[in-house]
Amino acid sequence: MPMRITGLKDIIAGLTSAGRGVFEVASTRRQAQLGEMCEKLLDLKGEASVIVLAHRILELYATLEEAERIEFFEMLRDRFGADEQRLGAAISDYQSSPGPDTAAALADAAEAPRQELFRLLNTAPNGTAALIEMREHLLRVLRKHPQLAPVDRDIEHLLLSWFNRGFLTLRRIDWQTPAFILEKLIAYEAVHEIRGWPDLQRRLANDRRCYGFFHPALPDDPLIFVQVALVKGLADSIQTVLDSAPPAADEEVEADTAIFYSISNCQRGLSGITFGNFLIKQVTDSLARDVPGITRFSTLSPIPGFRRHLETWLATAEGAAALSDAERELLADGPAHWLDDEGKANAIKPLMMHLCADYLLNVKRGEEPGDPVARFHLRNGARLERLNWLGDRSEKGLRESYGLLVNYVYDRKTVAQNHEAYVNDFEVVCSSALRSLAAKRPKRL
Amino acid sequence: MPMRITGLKDIIAGLTSAGRGVFEVASTRRQAQLGEMCEKLLDLKGEASVIVLAHRILELYATLEEAERIEFFEMLRDRFGADEQRLGAAISDYQSSPGPDTAAALADAAEAPRQELFRLLNTAPNGTAALIEMREHLLRVLRKHPQLAPVDRDIEHLLLSWFNRGFLTLRRIDWQTPAFILEKLIAYEAVHEIRGWPDLQRRLANDRRCYGFFHPALPDDPLIFVQVALVKGLADSIQTVLDSAPPAADEEVEADTAIFYSISNCQRGLSGITFGNFLIKQVTDSLARDVPGITRFSTLSPIPGFRRHLETWLATAEGAAALSDAERELLADGPAHWLDDEGKANAIKPLMMHLCADYLLNVKRGEEPGDPVARFHLRNGARLERLNWLGDRSEKGLRESYGLLVNYVYDRKTVAQNHEAYVNDFEVVCSSALRSLAAKRPKRL
Amino acid sequence: MPMRITGLKDIIAGLTSAGRGVFEVASTRRQAQLGEMCEKLLDLKGEASVIVLAHRILELYATLEEAERIEFFEMLRDRFGADEQRLGAAISDYQSSPGPDTAAALADAAEAPRQELFRLLNTAPNGTAALIEMREHLLRVLRKHPQLAPVDRDIEHLLLSWFNRGFLTLRRIDWQTPAFILEKLIAYEAVHEIRGWPDLQRRLANDRRCYGFFHPALPDDPLIFVQVALVKGLADSIQTVLDSAPPAADEEVEADTAIFYSISNCQRGLSGITFGNFLIKQVTDSLARDVPGITRFSTLSPIPGFRRHLETWLATAEGAAALSDAERELLADGPAHWLDDEGKANAIKPLMMHLCADYLLNVKRGEEPGDPVARFHLRNGARLERLNWLGDRSEKGLRESYGLLVNYVYDRKTVAQNHEAYVNDFEVVCSSALRSLAAKRPKRL
Amino acid sequence: MPMRITGLKDIIAGLTSAGRGVFEVASTRRQAQLGEMCEKLLDLKGEASVIVLAHRILELYATLEEAERIEFFEMLRDRFGADEQRLGAAISDYQSSPGPDTAAALADAAEAPRQELFRLLNTAPNGTAALIEMREHLLRVLRKHPQLAPVDRDIEHLLLSWFNRGFLTLRRIDWQTPAFILEKLIAYEAVHEIRGWPDLQRRLANDRRCYGFFHPALPDDPLIFVQVALVKGLADSIQTVLDSAPPAADEEVEADTAIFYSISNCQRGLSGITFGNFLIKQVTDSLARDVPGITRFSTLSPIPGFRRHLETWLATAEGAAALSDAERELLADGPAHWLDDEGKANAIKPLMMHLCADYLLNVKRGEEPGDPVARFHLRNGARLERLNWLGDRSEKGLRESYGLLVNYVYDRKTVAQNHEAYVNDFEVVCSSALRSLAAKRPKRL
């Protein structure tokens, strides 16, 4: 790049030496000091010196323990909320003459000043990363401290705006990528653990693809990434995908199917901000354009809620009555035994496939499927395609779904219409094979 | 860069072919169609397909004439404002139990849905640039159509958040910069016109500096840029700065002073969003760090309001009485004559210097100086240093300020304290020489 | 780029302070000093300190006037030629036992030490550029000083090896290219002068292409570049190509033909090292791959030797007899008149087209065509396609070839076979139309 | 980078389809075919089609087994040597009229055409890498096939010219470097094995530095790299350097000494081309400039020839008589025992330190030190500074030098003068402590 970029970091020194005197605050307690500094920051709004003060506040914040952070968030709630008098007046104005102008003034008055405070903190070097971390802290305590929800709402509101899809870039991640970024894939992978650098390298070989969304304010840190295997036919086993030997460096890869086998969000502080649907869409389009021969797009997905659902149901009277003794016994053995005992596996397989298909198609949370992964892909317009018996033999796979995996197929011709059918009527588009599986209870053992 | 970036543009084709059917709308009039498409876009919120629909809306918008655009903005005001019922309910809730939660809910209800609409439009390829242009259109008609102010308020609110200082990068612009960007300097320069490429090249020679702020969503388009001359001593003539011969390519530049002689905002659609103070601060710090020998930072600035002020005042009874006939006659000649007639120039100079110093120090708009450039630099912490007689001999310089220019000095040791003095008490920090000039009326001619 | 590159320039300071004492030489005359420094440099071979000494020698060389440079080259010839004794011994060894080993030893002994000297000078910062300039100096005086040929042969030998095609990169040059490089196009364009930046910008619009070869040691300096117009049909007028309005920024360009209308070598010091044939081949392949719709590749070329040839021939008895009086008169008027007088132009046109076709097909220098541009393109495998009457109305075009231009077509299917036919039998592949033109003398006027 | 680079690879397709017919050769045996293709390549010299043919030859060469490669090299020696007749004539010319011109003609005639052949092969995509590999093949068989030396001489001659220091770039390698390049460090490290990615990451932490030389034709492949530890004081143990915990990410590193603890050549095919001295010099200068506080530069080096030398000497009568029985017994135990037995270690230490100092200072190969690492650093101008008892406790360290390591100090003030003293008089610059160690035989045990 022919232009040199001067980092904000470099600037701090300069600003600091010039401006130090201005920001010295007499308070002795950090908490009080933080409060004063935040008020000062709002006063400075629009001045170049906000950068230094924002930097100081974030430095001081970084020294807080969890209990102090809760105090800090409470202060943000109480001291940096909307001004009651101003809000009251704006309400009166609006009520006496409702219309776009008074509504706009009311919206202004209702916006908590802490939103502006967050915007000002963002001017500090690495301010965006610091705010994301601050929200991570907040989310960690939010369940126990629901009174902090208004603060979370305000940060989330800003992050939603800043991490707008229009500001993200899709980048391919491969073996040419700096080690500094690759290292983060290992740390962030949430679905199928990356077991060190050789495992990572295999996942980045020339029959694999990895893409992530990045935001300009976090150039070295992916927001989300997806891992794809280019294979022949619809993959039915995650172990085959992960452990197959990579092709030679110059070997032509002959594949007709792209298998999305892992998708991981990276930033807990961005929880609630959706990237996955955009990512799948865009990667699908990229692959269709760039990799000749790829004509099918599918996931190889976990069914994380299946086992928990089944065990709960079996504990009910209805569930208890639904299985024969032989079936209940095989099930009680647990899937770890099925792995080694082909006889047992074959015996229980038809029942498990039926139960799982039934779970995916008929168990609901409200009007939507009970399984969270199913909700995600069906909403995106995918089709429930195929169940894979013992597709995930890992401890986690057995624990969550008795080792079953499912393929959601993204058919570019029908994805928009599937999506519409889902969001309008919660219709689950499904292959006939899977529908049959769900419909017919196999003979009792 | 080892990562390949897939542009959004490439993606549109893919999305389009898959999704076209979904968005076809039966309306015949573009305006009605736009309204329906915008409502559909809000419905789709969170779906990957928003990108395509947003793109379509912006394409359709781009075909509107000014009158149609006004209709479009009115539709945004009327159809995408806050929901009255929901807002009414939120007001009731808040009034019956005021507190952070009900205030937050009220803020949510008061936010006009068009804000979300703008956020969704931003997901389109080049969406950010399109929204900036949309605001430019809006500002162009706002004075005549003040009823559109609530719409402008909402776009501005978003742009303020998105163009937060934390997302900007400072880049040096020089002769290594792509022609595509340099071309824009020529177009955007607002203070001292750049007269073609040779003039531009001279302004980018090794005794000059140019820096701009860029936003990642507009990588080839500066938001603002400043031009600096590295010289010996405080420059007193803009023509000398612009027309002096450049040093040889490998000549060592011996300079002790950085003269900020031009600062131009580039995006009309970002009007109201302040970058200049940050830019001056950061460039000052960069130069202090990177260019050995530079110990003084000063502007060479126009006084755009001086002549207009003076002529208005002279038309009053007080003004008429203030000058002798000889003085009034010289003044009536106009500055174009002074350029060639040293006798006249010397005769009128003391009076003009006094009147201009008086203007800068004593003429106010509210509590602040009447001159807009003075307001900007004084608020930033600069010191009014020196008046320069016939410092700008251009037609524009003569027309605006009888050719006078002024230096505002940025002294890094006192800039923070000057700034505080200004924002707290509107104190104008000023050299003693300039203060004397203002204080003492020269002998009448 | 994630790696930081430390420039050699930065290193000089370090080396210098440490090593200065070593290289101080007592000689008073620069020439003698240069001789001693060069001998010292050969002694140092392989030591890190060669970089500093090489830098010093080049600095000192840069201060020489032309007469001194000639002395310097003579010193290189006399003092840094092959060692006579060693060479004599190697000859004896070879003669007494001829074979690969003694031949290799003889080749070693015969290589002039100045070759190694040039290799050592190349280690200096910007050493390659300095050596190219040194050869430019040498070529400038070589005709008058043929005794310097052995020195030129040695530099050329090295440059041929260093500027091997395998080390060059082809880069597209467009409006995104740094101004620093674009500026050089204006300076180097040798065929159709670039008249400032607006002209340059038009030549880089989206219906034009420009490509250059670059060498890593001269990253900002093209070695050669070619300019291409994407048009409909075979272009017949260079003025139309240069002066047509560019398409709008986002206008789709519908073109079926790529016209190579200018190709310029940039470095005189690389004279004798051929890049043009590689460049045309590679650009043709790039365009065929990247620009859909382009199916024809052709030049629009000058015929620089035509008028000179014709005038010489007309001065012979044969030539004098070949034209009628009327024809001779029209010709004597000169082409500048034909531009404005359609009658005269139409009258003379058939004759001129015939004479020019005859020139291109039948006038030889040895076995090859007499016209240098024809030799270049025909050797590359192009086909002589079409003559264009008044295709170049510029002063230069009229002066060189009465304004005629010619298209050489590069047909990718036949280019290899044409090339073979040319290099084996000097066969000139030609369209039948042009062959007819040459064959048949039009009726005398 | 604003310019797009079209790779040669892309071009092959185009050239190939157009040119295939031309190069088909009727021979059935690959060897004969290769011979014909090489002759054809020399014929084509200067034509664009050489790229394709060169590519084909290298493809075919890549399929050869070792025995076939030897045949191929013999063909290069016999069929592509200097033309005897032409050489004979050039000798006659030179002898009848010796002078620069006839010497130059003789040099031309003596150059084997295989040099030009190699230059033409270099035009193929990745040609340079292929030629380096070809030379690696050749070197592997050269000892057994000394008749191939003239071929090796010609490749080496070219590589020396192409890998001229002036064409290399120094790049820092760190954790931001693409994994693709880092992987090669692990493969190439020749001194202290890198035990996987975590070990590599520790060597690239912020108290370490790694630099390599790169050539533009091999942008992803270092030619040589050096590893440096920034520490306090002169390091005395390689295990301490390798195994110490890295500092925290943002910890300030306080170091006064740069320890060069490993330097590895990467390309066997570039054997005989020296990079190490340039690299040390340039890295020293870079660190002195960029890392404040670093005032001392030293190696921590192996003494690879010490043990072999000592054992040989002890087998002589003189050696046998030089040690007491107790000493001989301790020595016979071997250093592995000393590691665990402090008593034995302390007993033998004075003798071993003396013998090693004596080895470094007094054992010669010709006029230079017998130890190859000593020759390298002393020739570069370093000073023999200190012996470190059990500085390398690895199996390799014990095997080569009884675990002793040595520091060579690069003192920037004296390095040039040390170098001169060495190359002129083979003077070994040495600390007085080490000189005393060598001078005085400790009391016999």
Stretch D256-275: mean pLDDT, rounded? 94
What percentage of chain A exceeds 70 in pLDDT? 93
Residues C150 and D101 sit within 8 Å (Cβ to Cβ): yes
Residues B179 and C178 sit within 8 Å (Cβ to Cβ): yes
B245 pLDDT exceeds 80? yes
Q: Would you call B180 and C176 a contact, using CB atoms and an 8 Å cutoff?
A: yes
Stretch C281-302: mean pLDDT, rounded? 93
In angstroms, what CA-CA distances link B197 with B182, B186, B187, B250, D417?
9, 8, 11, 21, 52
pTM: 0.87
Residues C40 and C33 sit within 8 Å (Cβ to Cβ): no
C20 pLDDT exceeds 70? no
- Is A104 within 8 Å of chain B by CB? yes
The pLDDT, as a whole number, for residue B336 is 84
- Angle, alpha carbons D231-D235-D238 (nearest 5°): 110
The pLDDT, as a whole number, for residue A103 is 93
D51 pLDDT exceeds 50? yes
Residues D116 and D41 sit within 8 Å (Cβ to Cβ): no
- Distance CA(D169)–CA(D211), nearest Å, equals 10
Residues D309 and D411 sit within 8 Å (Cβ to Cβ): no
- Distance CA(A341)–CA(B213), nearest Å, equals 67
Residues D381 and D427 sit within 8 Å (Cβ to Cβ): no
Residues A33 and A25 sit within 8 Å (Cβ to Cβ): yes
**Both tokens of residue B398?**
């003569």
C310 closest CA partner among C300, C322, C301, C299:
C322
A28 pLDDT exceeds 90? no
**Both tokens of residue C286?**
């790039």
Total residues found in chain B within this entry: 445
DSSP 3-state assignment of B95? helix
Q: Percentages helix, strand, coil for chain A, rounded to the nearest 5?
A: 55, 10, 30
C3 pLDDT exceeds 80? no
Stretch C92-114: mean pLDDT, rounded? 94
Least confident of A241-255, C260-274, C420-434: A241-255
Contacts of C201 in chain B (CB under 8 A): 179, 183
**Residue B338 pLDDT level (bands cut at 50, 70, 90):** confident
Query: Which ranges of C47-148 would DSSP assign to H, the alpha helix?
Result: 50-61, 66-79, 84-96, 100-110, 113-121, 127-142
Contacts of D18 in chain C (CB under 8 A): 412-413, 415-416
The pLDDT, as a whole number, for residue C11 is 38
- Is C175 within 8 Å of chain B by CB? yes
**Residue A21 pLDDT level (bands cut at 50, 70, 90):** very low
The pLDDT, as a whole number, for residue A190 is 84
What percentage of chain C exceeds 70 in pLDDT? 93
A2, A178, A197: residue with CB nearest D197: A197
Stretch D164-171: mean pLDDT, rounded? 95
C25 pLDDT exceeds 80? no
Stretch B240-250: mean pLDDT, rounded? 86
Q: Is A426 left (phi over 0), alpha (psi -120 to 50) or beta?
A: left
Stretch B77-103: mean pLDDT, rounded? 94
Touching chains, A (3+ CB pairs < 8 A): B, D
Give every CB contact of residue C38 below 8 A, 6+ residues apart in sequence.
C57, C76, C79, C80, C117
**Residue D337 pLDDT level (bands cut at 50, 70, 90):** confident
**Residue C140 pLDDT level (bands cut at 50, 70, 90):** very high
- Is B178 within 8 Å of chain C by CB? yes
C103, C124, C166: residue with CB nearest D122: C166
Stretch D104-116: mean pLDDT, rounded? 94
- Distance CA(B281)–CA(A101), nearest Å, equals 37
Sort strands A364-365 and D169-172 into parallel, antiparallel or unpaired. Answer: unpaired
- Is D420 within 8 Å of chain C by CB? yes
Residue type, D53: L
- Distance CA(C103)–CA(C105), nearest Å, equals 5
What percentage of chain D exceeds 70 in pLDDT? 93
**Residue C28 pLDDT level (bands cut at 50, 70, 90):** very low
Contacts of A11 in chain B (CB under 8 A): 281-282, 285-286
D8, D22, D170: residue with CB nearest C6: D170
C440 pLDDT exceeds 80? yes
Q: For A178, which DSSP code? A: B
Touching chains, D (3+ CB pairs < 8 A): A, C
What percentage of chain B exceeds 70 in pLDDT? 93
Phi, psi angles (nearest 5°) of residue D136: -60, -45
**Residue D250 pLDDT level (bands cut at 50, 70, 90):** low
Residue D4 CB burial class (10 angstroms; 0-12, 13-18, ≥19): middle
**Residue C420 pLDDT level (bands cut at 50, 70, 90):** confident
- Is B182 within 8 Å of chain C by CB? yes
Contacts of A175 in chain D (CB under 8 A): 178-180, 183
pLDDT single digits (tens) B142-169: 999 999 999 999 999 999 999 999 999 9
Give every CB contact of residue B402 below 8 A, 6+ residues apart in sequence.
B306, B307, B335, B352, B356
Q: Would you call B182 and C180 a contact, using CB atoms and an 8 Å cutoff?
A: no
- Distance CA(C380)–CA(C384), nearest Å, equals 12
- Distance CA(C193)–CA(B399), nearest Å, equals 41
**Residue D336 pLDDT level (bands cut at 50, 70, 90):** confident
- Distance CA(B194)–CA(B196), nearest Å, equals 6
Residue type, C265: N
The pLDDT, as a whole number, for residue A18 is 39
**Both tokens of residue A382?**
């995918």
Contacts of C62 in chain B (CB under 8 A): none
Distance of CA B415 to the CA centre of its chain: 21
Q: Would you call D178 and A180 a contact, using CB atoms and an 8 Å cutoff?
A: no
- Distance CA(A220)–CA(D281), nearest Å, equals 33
- Distance CA(D187)–CA(D394), nearest Å, equals 19
D2, D175, D180: residue with CB nearest A180: D175
- Distance CA(C51)–CA(A424), nearest Å, equals 74
pLDDT single digits (tens) D207-237: 999 999 999 999 999 999 999 999 999 999 9
Complete DSSP assignment for C292-304: TT--EEEE-B--T
- Distance CA(D405)–CA(A417), nearest Å, equals 73
Residue type, A278: F
Residues C370 and C360 sit within 8 Å (Cβ to Cβ): no
pLDDT single digits (tens) B163-174: 999 999 999 999
Contacts of B183 in chain C (CB under 8 A): 175, 201
The residue among C30 and D294 whose pLDDT is bigger is D294
- Is B48 within 8 Å of chain A by CB? yes
- Distance CA(B160)–CA(B215), nearest Å, equals 12
Mean pLDDT of all residues in chain B? 89
pLDDT single digits (tens) A139-153: 999 999 999 999 999
- Is C167 within 8 Å of chain D by CB? yes
Angle (deg, nearest 10), helices A66-79 and A149-162: 90
The pLDDT, as a whole number, for residue A254 is 86
Complete DSSP assignment for D215-256: -TTSTTS-SEEEEEEEESS----HHHHHHSPPPPTTPPP--S
pLDDT single digits (tens) A272-299: 998 998 999 999 999 999 898 999 999 9
Q: A166 forms bridges with which residues in the sheet?
A: none
Residue type, C182: L
Complete DSSP assignment for B203-259: HTSTTEEEEEEE-TTSTTS-SEEEEEEEESS----HHHHHHSPPPPTTPPP--SEEE
DSSP 3-state assignment of D443? coil
Residues D281 and C48 sit within 8 Å (Cβ to Cβ): yes
Give every CB contact of residue B385 below 8 A, 6+ residues apart in sequence.
B234, B298, B406, B407, B408, B409, B431, B434
The residue among B391 and A5 whose pLDDT is bigger is B391
**Residue C31 pLDDT level (bands cut at 50, 70, 90):** confident
The H or E element containing residue D299 is strand D296-299
- Distance CA(D271)–CA(B328), nearest Å, equals 89
B258 pLDDT exceeds 90? yes
- Distance CA(A266)–CA(A282), nearest Å, equals 18
pLDDT single digits (tens) A88-106: 999 999 999 999 999 999 9
The pLDDT, as a whole number, for residue B250 is 67
**Both tokens of residue B76?**
């945004």
A252 pLDDT exceeds 80? no
Give every CB contact of residue D245 below 8 A, 6+ residues apart in sequence.
none
